[in-house]
Amino acid sequence: MANPSAWWLNCPYLSRMLAMATVVQTRDLTKEYRGGEVVHALRGVNFTAEQGQFIAVMGASGSGKSTLLHLMGGLDLPTSGQILVEGRDITRMSDRERTLFRRRRVGVIFQAFNLLPTLSAAENVILPLLVDGATRLSFEAKADELLSLVDLAHRRTHRPQALSGGEQQRVAIARALANDPVIVLADEPTGNLDSRHTDEIWQLLRKLASERGCTVIAVTHEARGAAYADRAIVLKDGLTVGEIQVDGTGDAALVAASYTKLAD
């Protein structure tokens, strides 16, 4: 019998509204880098991401994209402002809490794949689990599950040098998912790839949001990549200057035209 307390599941609009949970929220986020001259990398960014959304972060070089991504992943601390992840302000966590937060709630993908050359694809994928002490059996099951997700089950014993660039980045994505993160952060994940592999990676990130419910936040210069997202936010000189509703249309021309208007 259907659960009577979940009657709203039969109302598509209502169930969608109730199911949408805010996963990341930044409030008046600023970041200054102080060396010689002070750099105001972020100057008051307010940003919200819901569960299962795929959001692209666009903007010219130096506009603060990587800084924002690093702060949301707990890789660095802001100068002021709040970063709420699943309702908890990560800027107020102790160093140990923030380390655990990074390890268990966040998956990170960079432009460089950063795979260990002496390990197989499967071993690279489960590397993050080694620090959390799971059993050997659960490691192998996890590696199989994640390599299947990225369509690389047939390459599990290959070392990185025996994989194409696109395949290496898919292993890196599988590794980012090892701890079942709630947020997946990607900084120009296709920067080192040719156009064929580029589309594969964007499709995969789309799938992580739509099918696994991850909140995916990806920095990109490419309208073609942002076209797979639900929304694209545009940064300029450390501030958000606007947002493009993409809704996964795959319409790169629309994204490019809107981006040019906002970024100019």
Ligand X SMILES: Nc1ncnc2c1ncn2[C@@H]1O[C@H](COP(=O)(O)OP(=O)(O)OP(=O)(O)O)[C@@H](O)[C@H]1O
Which residues in this chain contact ligand X in the complex, by CB under 6 A?
Answer: 33, 35, 39, 41, 59, 61-67
Select the binding partner of residue 41 from Mg ion, ligand X, none (C-beta < 5 to 8 A, by kind).
ligand X
Residue 56 β-bridge partners: 218, 232
CB-nearer residue toward ligand X: 45 or 115? 45
CB-nearer residue toward Mg ion: 52 or 238? 238
CB-nearer residue toward Mg ion: 152 or 226? 226
Q: Residue 260 is inside which H or E element, if any? A: helix 252-263
CB-nearer residue toward Mg ion: 106 or 235? 235
Place of tokens 């089950």: 153
Please state the closest distance from residue 35 (CB atom) to ligand X, in A: 6
Please state the closest distance from residue 110 (CB atom) to Mg ion, in A: 10
Please state the closest distance from residue 10 (CB atom) to Mg ion, in A: 45
Exposed/middle/buried for 243, CB within 10 Å: 0-12, 13-18, 19+?
middle
Q: How many CA atoms lie within 13 A of 28 on its CB side?
A: 2
> From its phi and psi, is residue 111 left (phi > 0), alpha (psi between -120 and 50) or beta?
alpha
Please state the closest distance from residue 68 (CB atom) to ligand X, in A: 7
Q: Per-residue DSSP letters for 128-148?
A: HHHTTT--HHHHHHHHHHHHH
- Interface with Mg ion (CB under 5 A): 66
